[in-house]
Amino acid sequence: MSRIAVVGVGAIGCVFGGYLAATGRHEMIFCSREIFGEVSVESDFGKTNAPAHTVMEPTGLEPADWVFLATKAHQVGGTAGWLEALCGPNTRVAVLQNGVDHVERVSPFAGQARVMPVVVSCPALKHGPGRVSHIRQAGLTICDDESGQDFADLFLGANVRIELSADMTTSAWRKLCNNMSSSAITVLTNEPYGVFRHTGLLELSAALLEECIAVGRAEGALLGDGIIDEVMAKNSGSPPDLIPSMLGDHRAGRPVEVDAQYGIIVRLGERHGIKTPLCRAVVALLETINSGK
Q: What's the CA gap between 68 and 97, in Å, rounded?
A: 10
Q: What's the CA gap between 221 and 253, in Å, rounded?
A: 34
Q: Where are the beta strands (DSSP E) in the chain?
A: 3-7, 27-31, 38-43, 46-51, 54-55, 66-69, 92-96, 114-121, 124-128, 131-134, 138-143, 160-165
Beta bridge mates, 140: 120, 162
- The residues annotated as belonging to the active site are 175
Residues in the chain: 293
Closest CA to 16 of 189, 161, 184, 199: 161
CA 115 vs CA 42, 66, 83, 96, 161: distances in Å = 29, 10, 11, 11, 21
Handedness of CA 103, 105, 106, 111 (dihedral sign): positive
Q: What's the CA gap between 288 and 281, in Å, rounded?
A: 11
